[in-house]
């Protein structure tokens, strides 16, 4: 133990003690320095990396271990060698997340789409071949849906060519340590789907093990090991992908915020329905818009084709009697008409046929469907001929043409029994039957199959000149040629009864009418030749009266001669 010597203070007025450093103060400073530099390894670690976490192979965890996560959490990076002025947008967690001190950039990024890259309607390579999927016990419903998604060209191209941060968008990646911890303890559907696509497109056979093991985390109504409905699994999976892209918003979002429609899954599968109620009294239209991920069509009541189902879906419904509509303009209950229409068509249209009843029975009747589907007559009037992206005229057409690329089949008597398989169109155009791990070739597209349950259509691009020509308004059409504009209009023929002839004509008017007939194309007719023989000398006039038919001319001549005879008899003197 160090010896402590207490020095007495000099008395007032006495001699001054020399300036000697206090041993107590020296020992105290030495202890503080020792405590500060005692963990030398920790000091060295801090100089190498500003933040150190346990290493992980999951991309969503690695996103929270970088310099970007430290900056987003407002931590000071002590050894950052990047100059502040040369730091770019790529140094942040998301491409579209601006620096906190740049208000103008923040305002501009809030209007940018969550998924920025342009979607492609083609696969990255035409020689690709997807793998069969092993059945892990009543997972055929899951395998068939995953095969349909694997062969969706825009989804496959995005998952195979983009990184996870770009797929999730700026609202799907963590921005601070708390969000990074939440992401570490949750199942990221987008990351699992990207990993599954990369393994499945390598060939051979694969297993969607992550989705089977974590089924209750993103699809709570479904049970592992039990046969489930393929359409319900597809709907829950797409909702989970949408949630993964919007789970870490930078600001509070409204449920109907337009920014939520710019995610990857919404750009591919998202559409919009319009429900219009038209008042019969004041003609006021009340519109309601609902987002959709698929189109469920009723195939009961004698419907035998997709076109009939679409006609029934968009048919007007009368609201009268006890179901009268309260008009917002009239402020009273009135008779009205309600009609559904497709206001924004998705890039990939999913058509669900309602084959299962509420009591578990199934409609096994064949429903006719074609390889190409046109939605032009089912679109709303305001956006007729346009899809979800009205600004892209290359995908706009007057008929909204779609082509079939996948079909999910169900064989059985009910939704919880039977077997699911998928028919898909490969990147090279060959149709394949995906029956779990068994893959067989099909000679052609499976049309009008009575087992078809979910149909997947992809929108085909339409040429710009064809789209704009078909959408041109009436007033902008090509004007008529000068010859057609100068051509005189043909008048309707007069009635042939004598009562409709009117007053008798004078000699000059009659001669003018006969002259007009001589100049006509039918001047060589026998009736007109006889009239010209009776009147050889005719005067030329500049005016061209209305042309008459030969039969009408003869009737007028007979009437005139009869009137002349009557007049002559009236002027004869009485005896």
Q: Spell out the per-residue pLDDT of the chain, length 575, in tens.
A: 444 444 444 444 444 444 555 555 566 666 665 665 555 545 454 444 444 444 445 454 444 445 555 555 555 444 444 444 333 333 333 334 344 444 444 444 567 889 999 999 999 887 888 889 999 989 999 999 999 999 999 999 999 999 999 999 999 999 888 888 888 889 999 999 999 999 999 877 889 999 999 999 999 999 999 999 999 999 999 999 999 999 998 888 888 888 899 999 999 999 999 999 999 989 999 999 999 999 999 998 889 999 999 999 999 999 988 888 889 888 889 999 999 999 999 999 999 999 988 877 888 889 999 999 999 889 987 544 433 444 443 334 444 799 999 999 999 988 788 999 999 999 999 999 999 999 999 999 999 899 999 999 999 876 444 444 444 443 444 444 444 444 444 444 444 333 333 445 556 666 676 677 676 644 444 444 444 444 444 444 444 456 667 777 878 888 888 877 776 555 455 44
- Find all residues with CB under 8 Å of 205, minimum gap 6, and list them: 131, 132, 133, 134, 437
> Which of 66, 69, 55 has the alpha carbon at shortest distance from 174?
69
pLDDT at 188: 93
The C-alpha atoms of residue 535 and residue 515 are separated, in whole angstroms, by: 10
Annotated active-site residue 231? The verdict is no
Task: Please name the residue that has the structure tokens 């006719």.
Answer: 368
> Which of 86, 139, 254, 155 has the alpha carbon at shortest distance from 458?
155
10 Å Cβ neighbour count for 177? 17
Q: Are the CB atoms for 531 and 517 separated by under 8 Å?
A: yes
Region at 440 (left for phi over 0; alpha for psi -120 to 50; beta for the rest): beta
From the candidates 140, 151, 175, 410, give the one annotated as an active-site residue: 140
Q: Which long-range CB contacts under 8 A does 363-368 form with residues at least 24 apart? A: 363/299, 363/300, 364/450, 365/299, 365/304, 365/450, 366/304, 366/448, 366/449, 366/450, 367/299, 367/303, 367/304, 367/305, 367/306, 367/309, 367/448, 367/450, 367/452, 368/304, 368/305, 368/306, 368/447, 368/448
Task: Please name the residue that has the structure tokens 């001047």.
Answer: 523
**Sequence-ordered alpha helix ranges (H) in 355-409:** none
pLDDT at 257: 87
Bridge partner residues of 452 (DSSP): 409
- The structure tokens listed for 473 are 């308004």
> Which of 147, 145, 154 has the alpha carbon at shortest distance from 124?
154
Q: Are the CB atoms for 146 and 130 separated by under 8 Å?
A: no
DSSP E strand boundaries for 265-335:
271-279, 285-292, 295-298, 317-319, 325-326, 333-334
The C-alpha atoms of residue 501 and residue 552 are separated, in whole angstroms, by: 9
- Find all residues with CB under 8 Å of 514, minimum gap 6, and list them: 531, 532, 535, 538, 553
Expressed in angstroms, the distance from the first to the final Cα of the chain is 179
- The structure tokens listed for 297 are 């069509």
H-run or E-run covering 560: helix 550-570
Q: Could you tell me the CA-to-CA distances from 391 to 388, 470, 487 in Å, in that order?
A: 9, 16, 43
The phi, psi pair for 406, rounded to 5°, reads: -160, 150
The C-alpha atoms of residue 291 and residue 271 are separated, in whole angstroms, by: 6
pLDDT at 476: 43
> Which of 402, 394, 347, 351 has the alpha carbon at shortest distance from 374?
402
pLDDT at 347: 94
The phi, psi pair for 338, rounded to 5°, reads: -115, 135
Q: How far is CA 552 from the centre of its chain?
A: 65
10 Å Cβ neighbour count for 293? 19
- Find all residues with CB under 8 Å of 390, minimum gap 6, and list them: 383, 396
> Which of 380, 383, 172, 397 has the alpha carbon at shortest distance from 262?
172
Global confidence as pTM: 0.63
- Give the single-character DSSP code of 505: P
Residue by residue, DSSP assigns 257-275 as: -GGGGGSHHHHHH-EEEEE
Q: Are the CB atoms for 180 and 174 separated by under 8 Å?
A: yes
Of the CA atoms within 13 Å of residue 134, those in its CB half-sphere come to 8
The C-alpha atoms of residue 58 and residue 52 are separated, in whole angstroms, by: 16
The C-alpha atoms of residue 71 and residue 93 are separated, in whole angstroms, by: 9
Annotated active-site residue 419? The verdict is yes
Three-state DSSP class for residue 323:
helix
- Counting Cβ atoms within 10 Å, is residue 145 exposed (0-12), middle (13-18) or buried (19+)? buried
The C-alpha atoms of residue 69 and residue 198 are separated, in whole angstroms, by: 27
Three-state DSSP class for residue 399:
coil
From the candidates 247, 280, 374, 419, give the one annotated as an active-site residue: 419
Q: Could you tell me the CA-to-CA distances from 200 to 103, 240, 241, 456 in Å, in that order?
A: 44, 20, 19, 20
Residue by residue, DSSP assigns 518-553 as: HHSTTTTSHHHHHHHHH-------S-------HHHH
């Amino acid at each position: 133990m160090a010896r402590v010597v207490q020095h007495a203070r000099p008395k007032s007025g006495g001699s001054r003690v020399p300036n000697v450093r206090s041993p107590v103060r020296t020992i105290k400073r030495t202890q503080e320095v020792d405590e500060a530099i005692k963990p030398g390894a920790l000091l060295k670690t801090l100089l190498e990396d500003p933040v150190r976490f346990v290493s992980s192979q999951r991309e969503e965890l690695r996103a929270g271990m970088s310099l970007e996560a430290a900056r987003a959490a407002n931590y000071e990076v002590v050894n950052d060698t990047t100059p502040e002025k040369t730091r770019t947008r790529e140094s942040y967690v998301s491409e579209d997340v601006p620096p906190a001190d740049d208000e103008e950039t923040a305002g501009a990024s809030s209007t940018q789409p969550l998924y920025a890259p342009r979607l492609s309607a083609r696969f990255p390579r035409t020689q690709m071949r997807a793998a069969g999927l092993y059945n892990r016990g009543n997972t055929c419903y899951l395998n068939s849906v995953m095969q349909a998604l694997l062969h969706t060209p825009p989804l496959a191209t995005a998952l195979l060519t983009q990184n996870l941060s770009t797929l999730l968008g700026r609202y799907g990646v963590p921005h601070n340590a708390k969000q990074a911890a939440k992401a570490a303890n949750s199942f990221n559907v987008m990351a699992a789907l990207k990993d599954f696509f990369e393994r499945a497109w390598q060939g051979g056979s694969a297993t969607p093990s992550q989705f089977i093991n974590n089924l209750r985390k993103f699809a709570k109504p479904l049970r592992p090991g039990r046969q489930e409905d393929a359409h319900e699994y597809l709907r829950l999976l797409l909702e989970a992908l949408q949630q993964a892209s919007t789970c870490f918003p930078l600001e509070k979002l409204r449920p109907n915020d337009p920014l939520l429609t710019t995610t990857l899954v919404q750009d591919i599968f998202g559409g919009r329905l319009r429900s219009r109620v038209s008042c019969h009294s004041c003609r006021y239209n009340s519109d309601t818009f609902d987002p959709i991920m698929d189109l469920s069509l009723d195939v009961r009541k004698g419907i035998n084709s997709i076109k009939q189902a679409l006609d029934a879906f968009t048919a007007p419904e009368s609201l009268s009697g006890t179901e009268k509509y309260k008009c917002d303009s009239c402020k009273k209950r009135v008779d009205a008409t309600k009609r559904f229409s497709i206001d924004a068509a998705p890039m990939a249209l999913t058509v669900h046929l309602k084959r299962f009843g509420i009591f578990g029975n199934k409609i096994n009747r064949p429903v006719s469907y074609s390889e190409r589907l046109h939605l032009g007559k089912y679109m709303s009037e305001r956006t007729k001929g346009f899809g979800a992206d009205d600004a892209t005229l290359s995908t706009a057409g007057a008929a909204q043409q779609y082509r079939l690329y996948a079909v999910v089949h169900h064989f059985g008597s009910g939704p919880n029994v039977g077997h699911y398989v998928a028919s898909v169109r490969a990147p090279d155009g060959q149709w394949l039957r995906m029956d779990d791990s068994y893959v067989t070739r099909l000679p052609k597209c499976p049309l009008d199959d009575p087992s078809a349950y979910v149909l997947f259509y992809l929108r085909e691009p339409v040429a710009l000149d064809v789209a704009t020509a078909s959408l041109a308004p009436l007033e902008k059409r090509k004007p008529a040629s000068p010859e057609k504009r100068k051509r005189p209009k043909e008048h309707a023929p007069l009635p042939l009864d004598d009562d409709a002839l009117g007053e008798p004509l004078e000699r000059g008017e009659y001669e003018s009418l006969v002259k007009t007939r001589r100049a006509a194309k039918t001047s060589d007719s026998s009736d007109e030749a006889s009239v010209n023989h009776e009147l050889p000398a005719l005067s030329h006039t500049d005016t061209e009266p209305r042309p008459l038919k030969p039969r009408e001319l003869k009737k007028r001549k007979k009437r005139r001669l009869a009137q002349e005879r009557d007049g002559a008899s009236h002027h004869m003197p009485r005896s």
